[in-house]
Structure 1
Amino acid sequence: MKKNIFSIAVLTAMGSTAVNAQALPEQLTVKPVIDLTAATFYSDKSYDGMTTDSKSWQEVVAKYGVEAEYKLDQGTLYSSLIAVSSATFGDGDAAGITTGDERKTSLEQWNLGWRNGSVEDATIDASIGRQKVQIADGFLVAGDALNFGKGYGDELDRGGAYYLAARQSFDMTAVLHYQINDALKTHWYYLESSNKAQNEAKLWSADFEYQYANSDFGLTYLQITDVADKETQRDDLKDIAVRAKKQVNEQLALAAEYVHQDQKQGNENAWYASAQYTFDQVKYQPTLGYRFSSFSEQYDGLFYGNTDAGFGTWFQGEVAANYSGPYSTNARIHQLSLQGSVQENLHLGVLGYKFDTIDKSSGENLDGAEVDLFAVWSPTQNVNVIPLIGFYKPKKDVNNGGAQMGDKDTNTYAQLILQYVY
């Protein structure tokens, strides 16, 4: 009953805002937030360690609330209040992380902030509250987006919608963006997670961005200050990351990042290097990309995840990254991509992966290959239709160090995502 009352209260506030918008002061802008996503999934193979049957399931996420800005003589105050309702239906996902019985409504985001200008022009932007935070390109932190269901126990359940990552906000944050000059930007973060699957980690981080001509350089320092279980490798973990991006010309873009990770039992590392070439003289101007990434045997990927860049960012392979592994540790990954927009509202892409396990001495062997074909169609400004079909071929099955149940045959995986954003 409390959940329903909370949802009704937020929706009522949104309706009142729309009705009384003309009565608001000129300095105040209030707008509703509505983000509805529904998805259906099918996996011919299972990775839950229990059944060889295929899995079919559905996920639903609804985010709703309000965002507000108040213009001052010396900047802008801003705030938001957003709730989220999520559910998983059917068999639960292919890895058994959700069971199909998850339902939850909760407060997802509240924040209060001030910046000394518009979003594009502000040189100082400070905020506190419960909100999603991404550090740099998301290689280390891309929100608190790990959404377990009841498959690993009720204590880890965040309400399902594992793939759609229904909840992405850190429980408490303090964030400062300070632009020193046109070339140098600094970012300061304090983040607290209440996510038990992330060991309820608390951390702080400083990030620096320097732009010179067509090159961007970055430096990130991150330190875990507290965790729920101090016997894990995450306790007192420290990361130092350096990155660079270079737009060589209109066609060619290069990028790389290296992370040195200091853990109690030793040092780990991760890195990637990528190149993208756009054939701007060819119809549809397709972009061909290659990226190699490496994650050492005990590397902790922290809060990595998907970003606005879309498929293939730091969840590499729809089957591999979400259900079978590897999960950005003990792996070398080759990625080849080809993408292009055949119409203004229709983007097509294909992603190919080769996964190599670095250390097989423990018996784990997650070698394999995957190909994903997808489309992003936006029939209107507010609606996205995103179909994807994938083919995943592991080298080993679960009885020989792999993760796939039953056999090592090619798994056919399919998903369809429908999204409405207001």
Structure 2
Amino acid sequence: MRTLSYAPLLSLVALCTFEPQVHAYQLYNEDDGGTVLNADLSAAFGWFGSEKNYIGDPEREPGRMRWQEGFAKYGLNGTTNKINAGSVYGGLSWISTGSFGDGDAGGLTVGDERRTAVEDAYLGWKSGDLIPALGKDGVDFSFGRQLVTVDGFLITDDGFAPGKAFNPIEGVRDGRFNRGGAFYLGPRLAFGNTAVLKLGGLEGLHGSLIWLKSDNPGQSKTEVAAATLDYTTPVGSIGSTYVHGLDVDERYAFGDRLERKGMNVYSIRGQGNAGIENADFAFEVARQEKRSGSQRAMFFEAGYTFADTQWQPTVSYRYSRYSEGYDFLFQGGFRKRYQGEVAANYAGSVTSNMAINDVLLSVKPTDKLTLNAMAFNYHQLSRTHEQDFAAREVDLFLDWMVTDNVTLSPLVGFYKPEKWLGDGGLQSGSASTNTYFQFIVWMTF
């Protein structure tokens, strides 16, 4: 059975698109921020093409695919401190998504998926100055349907969005796992039900207790509990995460998903500049304990920005490694750094049985234009499996903020697998280089 991973490209602009408080139209403001009500609207539409596909169907030759995806998210969020202590905040939003054309190159969508549903529906309370020992807003409790990111390597969001073509249990297109299209854009990030308690703010010693229940069939509707403990200073932070699997819905369980119930995951992580101005370091080492045995994953990342040089070039290197039976949980790539457009989204698994080396080069000709180039090498650790996903990939892309509300993100990628569908790989036609392209318009209001 093919193991799927997901890590759609979410540029800085896209990340802002999904943060309710970042882009909003203020409807009401009482007493200079005492009570605020905002209207949110964000949208995106993308055109995609791949000269080869990764559907695993010999009849779909030579494999050329053309498709489109779009979404619109709209709603309200607000906050008020007109209570006896602290402040109350909340949000309510809907999202409409769709896929068009041939469906994606990985065969998860067929191109006629559509869906409108509630995305965010949450309430929260912050303590303000009520507990001085914990600092400003040292207690932050929220619950409901919302986006929760634990650390980014283990739990980023619930954004995996398969369509009608996805059914790893029976292989029948019955729509059981369909989330309404827009697989690549992946805007359905909120978990179906959550309770989150954050203690200690963002500096010094702080932590959190989290309960998450996914309503995503593609994640087998997994339920987990998690805890984090961090110590943050001006030069960086060090921390740990614990995740315990509580339950899965057996009707949607496939592969090793049933092992998520009772699974324990432990990790140690860190990030910061280590006192070196313009530097950036990060790492995480995770260990999974489940019925079939222990699994491990890790990454290390180092980067530097030449801030005093024209166009402020940034160079970054990352090494990632995932053991053969590692379960990627709700991972989207640490700090949203995707792991290859074709490899991570369409061409197979990059979050199990894989070692990945990647390099990023980024320059900023202007404050509104960023040019990026990334190169990846995927080395499959064990070659005893039926399918081999070893490959190389190069992606060239840019983010151009045309206005304060509109950003254009074109990309071209080149993916070269070692194997193809005819000799143990997944790519259609041959093992020659596939050319992939996309053009996305991001809009925030």
**Does the alignment pair 1:366 with 2:389?**
yes
Match of 1:240 among 262, 266, 289: 266
Q: Distance in 1 between the 2:346 and 2:393 partners? A: 13
Q: Distance in 2 between the 1:96 and 1:82 partners? A: 29
Q: Which string of whole-angstrom CA distances, capped at 9 and with x for unpartnered residues, describes residues 85-118 of structure 1?
A: 0000000000110000101101111001011239
Match of 1:37 among 25, 41, 44: 44
Offset at residue 331 of structure 1 (A): 0.2
Tell whether the 8 Å contact from 1:160 to 1:166 is kept in structure 2 after alignment.
no
Q: Distance in 1 between the 2:74 and 2:233 partners? A: 40
Aligned residue type for 2:71: V
1:7 corresponds to: none
Offset at residue 71 of structure 1 (A): 1.4
**SS of equivalent residue, structure 1 residue 141:** coil
Q: Distance in 1 between the 2:234 and 2:36 partners? A: 37
Tell whether the 8 Å contact from 2:27 to 2:39 is kept in structure 1 after alignment.
no
1:127 corresponds to: 142
Match of 2:345 among 300, 304, 322: 322
1:75 corresponds to: 86
Further displaced range: 242-251 or 198-207 = 242-251
Q: Distance in 1 between the 2:375 and 2:192 partners? A: 36
Match of 1:334 among 357, 367, 372: 357
1:61 corresponds to: 71
Aligned residue type for 1:301: F
Query: Which one scores higher on RCO, CA 8 angstroms, separation ≥ 6?
Result: 2
1:33–1:233 CA distance, 2 compared to 1 (3 A): same
2:295 corresponds to: 268
TM-score for the superposition, normalised by structure 1: 0.90
Tell whether the 8 Å contact from 1:357 to 1:365 is kept in structure 2 after alignment.
yes
Tell whether the 8 Å contact from 1:299 to 1:329 is kept in structure 2 after alignment.
yes
Offset at residue 18 of structure 1 (A): 8.3
**Does the alignment pair 1:114 with 2:140?**
no
Structure 1 segment 407-418 matched on structure 2, within 5 A = 407-418=430-441
Q: Distance in 2 between the 1:350 and 1:284 partners? A: 14
Structure 1 segment 265-304 matched on structure 2, within 5 A = 265-304=292-331
Q: Which string of whole-angstrom CA distances, capped at 9 and with x for unpartnered residues, describes residues 192-220 of structure 1?
A: 01111111110000011112452310100
Tell whether the 8 Å contact from 1:271 to 1:293 is kept in structure 2 after alignment.
yes
**Does the alignment pair 1:193 with 2:193?**
no
1:378–1:236 CA distance, 2 compared to 1 (3 A): same
Structure 1 segment 91-106 matched on structure 2, within 5 A = 91-106=102-117
Offset at residue 244 of structure 1 (A): 1.7
**SS of equivalent residue, structure 2 residue 194:** strand
1:141–1:26 CA distance, 2 compared to 1 (3 A): closer
2:53 corresponds to: 46
Offset at residue 381 of structure 1 (A): 1.4
1:13 corresponds to: none
Tell whether the 8 Å contact from 2:355 to 2:380 is kept in structure 1 after alignment.
yes
Aligned residue type for 2:163: G
Listed as ranges, the gaps of 5+ residues in structure 1 are 1-16
Aligned residue type for 2:158: D
1:197–1:370 CA distance, 2 compared to 1 (3 A): same
Q: Distance in 2 between the 1:402 and 1:389 partners? A: 22
TM-score for the superposition, normalised by structure 2: 0.86
1:211 corresponds to: 232
Q: Which string of whole-angstrom CA distances, capped at 9 and with x for unpartnered residues, describes residues 297-353 of structure 1?
A: 00001001157x55xx1x300000000023311100000110121100111110100
Tell whether the 8 Å contact from 1:34 to 1:63 is kept in structure 2 after alignment.
yes
1:219–1:26 CA distance, 2 compared to 1 (3 A): closer
Listed as ranges, the gaps of 5+ residues in structure 2 are 1-23, 130-134, 167-172
Alpha-carbon RMSD across the aligned residues, in angstroms, is 2.2
1:291–1:21 CA distance, 2 compared to 1 (3 A): closer
Q: Distance in 1 between the 2:25 and 2:304 partners? A: 46
Aligned residue type for 1:242: I
Further displaced range: 359-368 or 370-379 = 359-368
1:6 corresponds to: none
Q: Distance in 2 between the 1:100 and 1:78 partners? A: 38
Aligned residue type for 2:306: F
Q: Distance in 2 between the 1:190 and 1:406 partners? A: 45
Further displaced range: 287-296 or 359-368 = 359-368
Aligned residue type for 1:238: N
**SS of equivalent residue, structure 2 residue 422:** helix
Tell whether the 8 Å contact from 2:107 to 2:165 is kept in structure 1 after alignment.
yes
Identical residues among aligned pairs (%)? 34
**SS of equivalent residue, structure 2 residue 81:** strand
Offset at residue 181 of structure 1 (A): 8.4
**SS of equivalent residue, structure 2 residue 260:** coil
Tell whether the 8 Å contact from 2:43 to 2:442 is kept in structure 1 after alignment.
yes
2:164 corresponds to: 150
1:221–1:25 CA distance, 2 compared to 1 (3 A): same
**SS of equivalent residue, structure 2 residue 287:** strand
Further displaced range: 372-381 or 84-93 = 372-381
Q: Which string of whole-angstrom CA distances, capped at 9 and with x for unpartnered residues, describes residues 224-283 of structure 1?
A: 100112773322211100012241311433221100110111000000111112223321
Offset at residue 188 of structure 1 (A): 1.3
Tell whether the 8 Å contact from 1:207 to 1:220 is kept in structure 2 after alignment.
yes
